[in-house]
Amino acid sequence: MVIYLRSGGKLRDRLKPDVDIYTRKVEVEGTPTLEEILEEIGIPDGLVAFAFADGKVRRLNYRPVEGDVVTLQPPVSGG
Amino acid sequence: MDGFGGTTLRINLSTEEIERTPTDPEFARSWLGARGFVSKILYDEVPRDADPLGVDNLFIVTTGVLTGSFCPVGSKVGFGCISPATNGHADSSMGGHLGPELRYAGYDLIVMEGIAAGPTYLYIDDDTIELRPAGDYWGMGSLELEKRMKKDLGDDFQIATIGPSGENGIVFSCITHDFGRQAGRCGVGAVMGSKKLKAIAVRGTKSLPVHDLDSMYKLTYDIIQRTKTHPNMAPWQKYGTAFFVGWSNERGCFPTKNFQETYHKDWEKIDGERLVEDCLVSDKACFGCWMNCGKYTRARIPGKPDTYQEGPEYETIALVGGSCAFTDINHVAYANHLLDDIGMDTMSGGSTVAFAMECYQRGIITKDDLEGHELRWGNIDDFEHFVRMIAARRGIGDIFARGTKGAAEALGRGTIDFASQAKGMEFSGYDTRWYPAQLLSYCTCDIGAHHSKSWTITTDIELGRDTIEGKAEVVIYLQHIRPLFDTWSCCRLFWGELDVTPEEHVDSIKHLTGWDVTLEECMRVSERVWNLNRAHFIERNGGPGRKFDVAPARHLDEPIPGGPAEGKVVGRENFEAMLDDYYANRGWDEDGNPTREILDDLGIGYAADNLEKLGFLGKPIPGGIPKVRGRELKPKAM
């Protein structure tokens, strides 16, 4: 299954985009959670605040489906 | 003078004299604006024994070099004074529209001294400047007053107000503008109140002279186009900062029950998702911003009137919601409105109530102290009653009006151990027991504990939460780069989230002003400000500096009782080792006193002379000071 992970900010260096400057194509086997996918590609889950796919917030237990474009939101202080 | 309004105002509130002088180009270049201006003026002009709420303190309203420009996003305005919470340099900023309006009226900086004879507001309509009576406004809530003044003066005036809290000198009083933007920290609202200044109203219809308009336009246009399609923009627009509650909770740093715990089991009931689903009315943006991260909301609680407010944002959810153990986002939003209207910083206000709740839990204060009320975790009625006791300084409210440190000193009985504060200002919304760099950040911060100057939760994750190695250098770097945005007076979020680089901000400054400025020069200004503030703090409070870089016992000794960070604690030995490392990397001696070499290097040798006279000049460091102070962490640390 192929999904696309996107991010900027502090996550972009770790994500190593290969499709465009923000996007990395990731091939995964089975239906892993986002947390498992992040671990596989070497991004500590602590560096992702939440994910955003199809206009909705997704927590790290979300299981992407084929072709999903998942934005990873880095944590930031503020407010 | 390209890029500036051009005029500095000096106002003596006692004599009602108003002096206009051209803004000094050399001063502007040396200190860049807002936080930098405040640092230099306070150091030069406020007597060291001045009472923060007395006649000799100054109250400064200031823009920065980027205020009013379309560099993303020049919406900020800064306030400065000696803080009644810390007795040191205070600078606090807010977004909205006031800063740009001030610049469009032609003013870069307003320095106010003295105390008005009676309640007053400052009225600025381009070249017309008046001190007007505000007796009719005195006693009104901040939000209520802004609405009233818009009606009285016109919607096109930008207005900043204080509430009853500021009038009564509560040390964590804020200044409010745009129905929900606050200069919240350091007690700037209390100093404004001590001057009998209830509000500031500004209308500006001029423009900023731009040195190279074509280049400025092109750069800004490129940034807008790029950030509009940035992947992290849409989530920001939809959710703002409130969405970091779940992340913080899972990382074991979400303050719960006055930092007794760091995991809130009902977090989903007060998270950003609940806020958006239950309370959102509309998005809201500051001047010139296309992100709209502000959330205008309605709180509905049976038996209480609906309230409308901006927020709560993350810090309020953490320090009101988590720390007071609320389990309903409507209650958090209602509390946000209550604090905003009364004129209290939601961060220190929430923390002070949470601290009192723990005192109640332990039997240190009782119903007899609370006018027959209780002070239970998560109870909005108890919360509201106690906040009103503080605002009016009724009974024990007078003690808590001094903040957690002041209250703990009055209460005794070991309460200081669980007052999560540094130098008299309450921690931001992140527990530090698994985040040693964040503890170092709070305890060395020049304005008291505040994440805006150094936020290292992700740094601790990157470098390892169980180690202290390499943390001090990164804290120093962050203490220079992050406050630079407060000095430039622009929003930091475009850097943090949307990849607009500090170098692009510097390019904006070049196009605006014509200055041949570099990021290195700006970072050096920021370091100069940090060191001048340190010298100033020691000169006001005595030394050595190290004696003020103190962590609360809870964060040093008390392991986290449960949740993802169970058992974690920084420990005294680790904390002291981090301080040693921090001082060495700053070019300060082991007592935390700046050395002559570092102060001379930064062009503020006069501060070394003053420290020497007091006996608190740092001893020379064998081998000299480090050539580079601070280290940027890659991948990027915010």
A42: CATH: 3.10.20.30
Task: Identify whether residues B375 and B440 lie together within a single domain.
Answer: no
Among B203, B221, B255, the domain boundary falls at B203
Instruction: Please tell me the predicted confidence (pLDDT) of residue B236.
Output: 85
Domain that holds residue A32: 2-73
Q: How many C-beta atoms lie closer than 10 Å to residue B350's C-beta?
A: 34
Could you give the number of structural domains in chain B? 3
Task: Work out the minimum CA distance from B183 to partner chain A, whole angstroms.
Answer: 11
- Chain B CB contacts of A23 under 8 Å are 231
**Bridge partner residues of B299 (DSSP):** B307
Say whether the peptide bond before residue B312 is cis (omega within 30 degrees of 0).
Answer: yes
Distance from CA of B206 to the nearest CA of A (A): 31
Answer whether A49 sits within 8 Å of B273, measured CB to CB.
Answer: no
Q: What is the pLDDT of residue B337?
A: 98
With respect to residue B262, please indicate whether it lies within any of the assigned structural domains.
yes
Closest residue on chain A to B95 (Cα): A79
Do B396 and B488 belong together in one domain? no
| Beta carbons within 8 Å of B368's beta carbon, 6+ residues apart | none
Distance CA B215, CA B235 (A): 30
Q: Which residues of A touch B273 (CB under 8 A)?
A: 57
Where among B374, B391, B419 does a domain terminate? Answer: B419
Are B346 and B240 part of one and the same domain? yes
- Residue A17 touches chain B, beta carbons under 8 Å: no
Residue in chain A nearest B455 by alpha carbon: A77
Judge if B184 and B248 occupy the same domain.
no
Instruction: Domain count for chain A, please give it.
Output: 1
Scanning B353-412 for CB atoms below 8 A from A yields none
Q: Which region holds residue B124: left if phi is over 0, alpha if psi is between -120 and 50, else beta?
A: beta
- Cβ separation of A50 and B251 shorter than 8 Å? no
Specify whether B246 is located in the same domain as B294. yes
Question: What is the per-residue pLDDT for B477?
Answer: 97
Q: Name the minimum distance, in Å, from the CA of B394 to any CA of chain A.
A: 30
Contact B241 A78 (CB under 8 A): yes
Contact residues, chain B, for A19 at CB < 8 Å: none
Does residue A79 have a pLDDT over 80? no
Amino acid B637: pLDDT: 56
pLDDT band at A9 (very low <50, low <70, confident <90, very high): confident
Length of chain B in terms of residues written = 638
Contact B223, B504 (CB under 8 A): yes
CATH code where residue B278 lies? 1.10.569.10
pLDDT given for residue B418 in this prediction: 98
Q: Where in the sequence is the domain holding B444, given as residue range(s)? A: 436-498+518-614
pLDDT (0 to 100) of residue B636: 62
Q: Of the candidates B152, B185, B203, which is a domain's last residue? A: B203
Whether A78 maps to a domain, the answer reads: no
Residue A79 lies in a domain: no
Gyration radius from chain A CA atoms: 12
Taking phi over 0 as left and psi of -120 to 50 as alpha, with beta for the rest, B311 belongs to left
- % of chain A with per-residue pLDDT over 70: 100
Q: Report how far residue B400's alpha carbon sits from residue B416's, in angstroms, rounded to the nearest whole number.
A: 13
Domain contains B381: yes
Q: Are residues B415 and B455 in the same domain?
A: no
Residue B626 within any structural domain of the chain: no
Distance CA A72, CA A7 (A): 5
Q: Is residue B34 part of a domain?
A: yes
One domain for residues B440 and B411: no
- Closest B-chain CA to A49: B247
Residue contact B231–A47, C-beta within 8 A: no
Q: Residue A44: which of B246, B461, B496 has the nearest Cβ?
A: B461
Residue B482 backbone phi and psi in degrees, to 5: -65, -50
Written as six digits, the tokens of B548 are: 């003020």
Question: Do B82 and B183 fall into the same domain?
Answer: yes
Partner-chain contact B493 A73, CB within 8 Å: no
Domain of residue B35, CATH code: 3.60.9.10
pLDDT value of position B78: 98
Same domain, B413 and B440: no
Nearest by CB to residue B244, choosing from A46, A49, A55, is A49
CATH at residue B601 = 1.10.599.10
**Side-by-side strand order, sheet with B107-113:** B17-22, B7-12, B107-113, B59-62, B77-82, B89-94
Residue A7: closest C-alpha in chain B: B231
Report the pLDDT value the prediction gives residue B635, as an integer from 0 to 100: 65
For chain B, positions 484-503, list CB contacts with chain A under 8 A. Answer: 492-493, 496-499
Residue whose token pair is 């979020």: B493
Residues of A in contact with B313 (CB under 8 A): 78-79
Closest residue by Cα to residue B510 from B53, B37, B158, B66: B66
In a domain, B53, yes or no: yes
User: Which mean pLDDT values do the consecutive 10-residue runs of chain B (638 residues) have?
Assistant: 97 98 98 98 98 98 96 94 98 97 98 98 98 98 98 98 98 97 97 98 97 97 94 88 93 98 98 94 94 94 97 97 98 98 98 98 98 98 98 98 98 98 98 98 98 95 95 97 96 89 96 98 98 98 97 97 98 98 98 98 98 98 94 72
Does A13 contact B at CB distance below 8 Å? Answer: yes
Q: Is there a domain that residue B220 lies in?
A: no
The model's confidence at residue A44, banded by pLDDT at 50, 70 and 90, is: confident
> Is residue B213, in this structure, part of any structural domain at all?
no
Cross-chain residue pair B311–A9, CB shorter than 8 Å: no
What pTM was computed for the model? 0.97
> Could you give the CA distance from residue B149 to residue B32 in angstroms, rounded to a whole number?
32
Residue A75 neighbours by CB under 8 Å, 6+ apart: A47, A48, A49, B244, B247, B248, B457, B458
